[in-house]
């Protein structure tokens, strides 16, 4: 997008928070409580977020037989060797306090008759530790309660229908952003910027995610010079409702935790032959097993049977009602399900306070790669991570304020050709098909190379042109993150967690490290020429060293 900040309407704030999921709302609340003027920029409305759609719950060690160390070990096991122990310890130790604060401030979590929190169990957890609300509407309750808390703070200024497009960075420091606010270009000046823009599920044609989950924050940060990490690790949720004409509605893992079993089209339970934890195996394992059974049957679905769960419709009212609308009574019939893109374990690389490599720029929630999720997120750790790192980012901004920007700083972009396209929606659908076909549950070098080549063809026409509206901005972000995922997946020559390669089916010790992707001056759309097994190692990271050629980002 072309702009000159000297000519744009200007907003000023101590902190700009982008996104209204759990991480963004938590950061805004804590910043406002500390007296900071916060501008909360939201692409659609305050309730449009992955958080609002989350069903399962929040993992936290409240049980009498549980403790943070057990939660830590479960997190490390699920992360397949790539969850950072120190980061994971911070989350599992501090998380229960954050959940308790939210509960004490109005979150209506489900409780036992004695007033203690009711705890469920999900895959790969050794204890019942899932805090939930209204059965299967935990995310909606978290979003409601945090929105209510933020609304009470006079220091928070919400800006709905505000699509943040470009970060304003100079000499390694972020000073704010440019946005389309109700189709008008504006500049937002802030001493700190918090990216909490959610994940990448909408890069795929089948996903549990809402419309805004296109990786826009990751793309924007990468263009500004922030490093990204672990982009190859995309988690596919094993169980989404699979009925023709029905959206990919998520069937919570808590259904399997309560006793739901997976059946193939012959009515046979198949998970016991694949994994000792059966239906509660790690999500990547369950998703691949379902995919295999579907391929063998030549079917777009298999079944999740919840008929053996006592009071199943009362325990999962939202799931029961949605399935009923599509002709399935979950108390009497098995549910047709299939995997769908669900969660991005990678993202903008941050430290233990949510800081990126750009001064004044923070990332938290699904936008960030803190090192917690590793190669395969442990169920219900995502809302917990958002609470912990939203608070920690806010605390660092308050405790370590940057000096005010010098007067007269401005940014200008006028090199992009202004041209309106009439095929943007078709291009978006094409990129989704490419990602689903070539970078799904099962991958190989030939397919991923085809994906990059096909994405380049689209990019050659679109990059270098000014995005004239939100849809074109969306396509630009999608292309950027698509290629970041594809080249990280091509580089990792093994199978680990959410990244499974048929040409490298084994987990390899040589790859027990992260892949860090750093921006080069030439841009993103580089020829993928480096395929050696190891790259330049930096403290446990494999740093991308590819040189750019062809289209500029």
From the CB of residue 136, how many other CB atoms can be counted at a distance below 10 Å?
25
How confident is the model at residue 200, as a pLDDT? 96
Q: Which residues of 517-546 are buried (b: 16+ CB within 10 A; e: fewer)?
A: bbbeeebbbbebeeeeeebeeeeebbebeb
Residue 548 pLDDT exceeds 90: no
How confident is the model at residue 490, as a pLDDT? 96
What integer is the mean pLDDT of 92-117?
97
Residue 545 pLDDT exceeds 90: no
Q: Would you place residue 523 in the very low, low, confident or very high pLDDT band (cuts 50, 70, 90)?
A: low
How confident is the model at residue 254, as a pLDDT? 87
Q: Would you place residue 130 in the very low, low, confident or very high pLDDT band (cuts 50, 70, 90)?
A: very high
Residue 542 pLDDT exceeds 90: no
How confident is the model at residue 19, as a pLDDT? 96
What percentage of the chain reaches a pLDDT higher than 90?
Answer: 78
pLDDT tens, position by position, 165-183 = 999 999 999 999 999 998 8
What integer is the mean pLDDT of 344-368?
97
Residue 552 pLDDT exceeds 60: no
Residue 535 pLDDT exceeds 50: no
Residues paired with 117 in a beta bridge? 111
Give the separation between CA 128 and CA 294, rounded to whole angstroms: 31
How confident is the model at residue 307, as a pLDDT? 97
Token digits of residue 240:
């989404």
What integer is the mean pLDDT of 445-460?
94
How confident is the model at residue 520, as a pLDDT? 55
User: Which residues, other chains included, contact 93 with Cβ-Cβ below 8 Å and sequence gap of 6+?
Assistant: 68
Residue 546 pLDDT exceeds 60: no
How confident is the model at residue 553, as a pLDDT? 28
The whole-chain average pLDDT of the chain stands at: 90
What integer is the mean pLDDT of 191-217?
94
> What string of DSSP letters covers 314-383?
HHSHHHHHHHHHTT--TTTSPEEEEEEEEEES-EEE--TTSB-SSBTEEE-GGGEE-SSSTTSPPTT-HH
Q: What are phi and psi of 295, to 5 degrees?
A: -65, -45
What integer is the mean pLDDT of 146-154?
97
Residue 537 pLDDT exceeds 70: no
Q: Would you place residue 550 in the very low, low, confident or very high pLDDT band (cuts 50, 70, 90)?
A: very low
- Between 29 and 249, the more confident residue is 29
Residue 55 pLDDT exceeds 80: no
How confident is the model at residue 50, as a pLDDT? 76
- Strand duo 38-41 + 10-18: pairing: parallel
Q: Would you place residue 532 in the very low, low, confident or very high pLDDT band (cuts 50, 70, 90)?
A: very low
Residue 466 pLDDT exceeds 80: no
Residue 240 pLDDT exceeds 50: yes
How confident is the model at residue 508, as a pLDDT? 97
How confident is the model at residue 541, as a pLDDT? 52
Instruction: Identify the weakest region by mean pLDDT among 51-65, 67-81, 357-371, 432-446.
Output: 51-65
How confident is the model at residue 469, as a pLDDT? 86
- Between 227 and 544, the more confident residue is 227
What integer is the mean pLDDT of 497-505?
96
Residue 387 exposure: Cα atoms within 13 Å on the Cβ side: 28
- Between 489 and 45, the more confident residue is 489
pLDDT tens, position by position, 506-516 = 999 999 999 99
Residue 131 pLDDT exceeds 80: yes
Q: What is the pTM of this model?
A: 0.91
Tell me the C-alpha to C-alpha distance, in Å, between residue 280 and each of 2, 238, 253, 535: 50, 11, 8, 35
Contact 441, 287 (CB under 8 A): yes
Q: Catalytic amino acids?
A: 283
What integer is the mean pLDDT of 124-141?
91
Q: Would you place residue 122 in the very low, low, confident or very high pLDDT band (cuts 50, 70, 90)?
A: confident
How confident is the model at residue 407, as a pLDDT? 85
């Amino acid at each position: 997008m072309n702009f000159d900040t000297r000519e744009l309407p200007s907003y000023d704030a101590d902190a700009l928070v982008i996104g209204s999921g759990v991480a963004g709302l938590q950061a805004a609340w804590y910043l406002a409580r500390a007296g900071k003027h916060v501008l909360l920029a939201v692409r659609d409305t305050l309730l449009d977020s992955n958080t609002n759609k989350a069903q399962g719950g929040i993992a936290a060690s409240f049980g009498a037989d549980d403790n943070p160390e057990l939660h830590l070990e479960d997190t490390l096991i699920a992360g397949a060797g790539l969850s950072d122990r120190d980061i994971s310890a911070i989350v599992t130790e501090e998380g229960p306090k954050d959940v308790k604060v939210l509960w004490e401030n109005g979150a209506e979590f489900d409780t036992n008759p004695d007033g203690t929190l009711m705890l469920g169990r999900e895959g790969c957890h050794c204890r019942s530790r899932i805090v939930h609300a209204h059965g299967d509407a935990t995310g909606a309750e978290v979003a409601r309660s945090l929105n209510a808390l933020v609304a009470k703070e006079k220091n928070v200024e919400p800006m709905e229908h505000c699509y943040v497009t470009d970060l304003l960075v100079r000499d390694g420091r972020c000073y704010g952003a440019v946005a389309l606010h109700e189709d008008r270009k504006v500049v937002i000046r802030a001493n700190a910027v918090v990216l909490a823009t959610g994940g990448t599920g909408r890069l795929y044609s089948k996903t549990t995610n809402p419309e805004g989950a296109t990786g826009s924050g990751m793309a924007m940060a990468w263009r500004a010079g922030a490093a990204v990490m672990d982009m190859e690790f995309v988690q596919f949720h094993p169980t989404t409702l699979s009925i023709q004409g029905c959206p990919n509605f998520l069937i919570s893992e808590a259904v399997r935790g309560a006793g739901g079993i997976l059946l193939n089209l012959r009515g046979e339970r198949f998970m016991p032959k694949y994994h000792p934890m059966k239906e509660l195996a790690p999500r990547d394992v369950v998703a691949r097993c379902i995919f295999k059974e579907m391929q063998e049957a030549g079917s777009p679905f298999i079944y999740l049977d919840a008929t053996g769960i006592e009071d199943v419709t009362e325990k999962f009212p939202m799931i029961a009602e949605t399935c009923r609308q599509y002709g399935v009574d979950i108390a009497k019939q098995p549910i047709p399900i299939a995997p769908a893109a669900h969660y991005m374990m990678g993202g903008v690389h941050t430290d233990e306070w949510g800081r990126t490599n750009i001064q004044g720029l923070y990332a938290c929630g699904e936008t960030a790669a803190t090192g917690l999720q590793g190669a395969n997120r442990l169920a219900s750790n995502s809302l917990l991570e958002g609470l912990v790192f939203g608070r920690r980012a806010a605390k660092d901004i308050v405790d370590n304020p940057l000096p005010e920007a010098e007067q007269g700083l401005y940014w200008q972009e006028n090199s992009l050709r202004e041209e309106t396209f009439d095929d943007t929606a078709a291009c978006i659908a094409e990129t989704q098909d490419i990602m689903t076909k070539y970078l799904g549950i099962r991958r190989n070098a030939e397919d991923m190379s085809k994906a990059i080549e096909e994405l380049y063809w689209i990019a050659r026409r679109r990059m270098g042109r000014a995005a004239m509206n939100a849809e074109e901005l969306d396509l630009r972000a999608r292309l950027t993150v698509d290629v970041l995922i594809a080249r990280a997946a091509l580089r990792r020559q093994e199978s680990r967690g959410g990244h499974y390669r048929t040409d490298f089916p084994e987990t390899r010790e040589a790859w027990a490290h992260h892949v860090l992707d750093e921006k080069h001056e030439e841009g993103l759309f580089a020829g993928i020429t480096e395929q050696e097994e190891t790259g330049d190692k930096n403290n446990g990271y494999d740093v991308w060293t590819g040189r750019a050629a062809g289209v500029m980002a």
